[in-house]
């Protein structure tokens, strides 16, 4: 069985260029095409994981370009090792040697593929670092409005909008009363554990009483005399 993996990093990007390859060059049916709109920093991608759950020994996984598989070199190598251990063949179109079937001296092909994967992995990882650097530089160049960076073109604030969870205080009290675990609270709010703890810290900071001012007896006497003058 042949499967096709497609990926773009954002919802705004288009998968059409990759899907043309799946349908026209390899005639892979739509049910065997798995598409994610997610970062290539790791493999925590729903459609990719769903595809892996279907794979059997002898199956083939086809990817148009190496960086569509991922941009983290060490994780890509781990995934490729998993495919190898499970008898799944990976075809990466911009690494032509992965399209060749050697009947003899397969170690030669494996050696060549390993070298190319090392090179391509390094390039993909460096490209991701450049993308992040460009994003950071672009945000730093934005004008400040009310303490936040905003786009000069659209006027929209940079970064993700702040998330409000009005029910958090209720769930936090239930957790403190032993009626709810952090895991259960996260599931009911639809947030991660790190978000939970960030909200908890924010709540605790908001409830911190102002520091007491200690006044010595001598200062108290001086204040009383002054108030009588």
Q: Confirm whether 194 is a catalytic residue.
A: no
Into how many domains does the chain fold? Answer: 2
Structure confidence by residue, pLDDT tens digits, 142-198: 777 666 676 666 666 665 555 567 788 888 888 888 888 888 888 887 777 888 888
Structural domain containing residue 198: 168-206
CA contacts within 13 A on the Cβ side of 226: 6
Structure tokens at 17: 């260029």
CATH of the domain at 15: 3.40.50.1390
Its pTM stands at 0.53
Is residue 157 domain-resident? Answer: no
88 against 128, higher pLDDT: 88
Across the range 127-156, mean pLDDT stands at 69
Structure confidence by residue, pLDDT tens digits, 82-105: 888 888 888 888 888 787 776 554
Structure confidence by residue, pLDDT tens digits, 16-57: 999 999 988 899 999 999 999 998 888 999 999 999 999 999
Asked whether the predicted pLDDT for residue 120 surpasses 70, the reply is no
**Of 9, 39, 192, 217, which is the active-site residue?**
9
104 and 23, same structural domain? Answer: yes
Domain boundary among 133, 159, 178: 133
126 and 183, same structural domain? Answer: no
Strands (E), the chain: 2-8, 33-37, 60-63, 89-92, 144-145, 148-149
Across the range 6-21, mean pLDDT stands at 89
CA separation for the pair 2, 91 (Å, rounded): 10
128 and 172, same structural domain? Answer: no
Strand partners, 3: 61
102 and 48, same structural domain? Answer: yes
51 and 120, same structural domain? Answer: yes
CA separation for the pair 121, 80 (Å, rounded): 12
Confidence of residue 220 (pLDDT cuts 50, 70, 90): very low
Is residue 128 domain-resident? Answer: yes
173 and 62, same structural domain? Answer: no
Q: Give yes or no for a contact between 117 and 77, defined as CB atoms under 8 angstroms apart.
A: yes
């Amino acid at each position: 069985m042949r499967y096709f993996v497609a990926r773009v990093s954002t919802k705004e990007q288009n998968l059409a260029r990759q899907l043309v390859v799946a349908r026209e060059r390899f005639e892979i049916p739509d049910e065997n095409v798995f598409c994610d709109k997610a970062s290539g920093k790791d493999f925590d991608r729903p459609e990719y994981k769903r595809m892996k759950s279907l794979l059997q020994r002898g199956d083939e996984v086809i990817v148009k370009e190496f960086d569509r598989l991922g941009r983290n070199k060490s994780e890509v190598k781990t995934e490729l090792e998993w495919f190898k251990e499970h008898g799944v063949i990976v075809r990466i179109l911009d690494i032509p040697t992965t399209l060749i079937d050697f009947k003899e001296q397969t170690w030669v092909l494996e050696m060549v593929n390993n070298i190319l994967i090392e090179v391509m992995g390094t390039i993909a990882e460096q490209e991701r670092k450049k993308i992040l650097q460009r994003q950071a530089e672009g945000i730093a160049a934005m004008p400040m409005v009310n303490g936040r960076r905003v786009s000069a073109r659209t006027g929209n604030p940079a970064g993700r909008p702040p998330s409000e969870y009005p029910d958090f205080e209720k769930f936090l009290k239930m957790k403190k009363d032993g009626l709810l675990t952090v895991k259960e609270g996260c599931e009911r709010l639809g947030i991660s554990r790190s978000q939970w703890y960030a909200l908890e810290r924010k709540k605790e900071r908001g409830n911190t009483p102002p520091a007491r001012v200690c006044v010595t007896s001598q200062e108290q006497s001086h204040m009383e005399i002054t108030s009588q003058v």
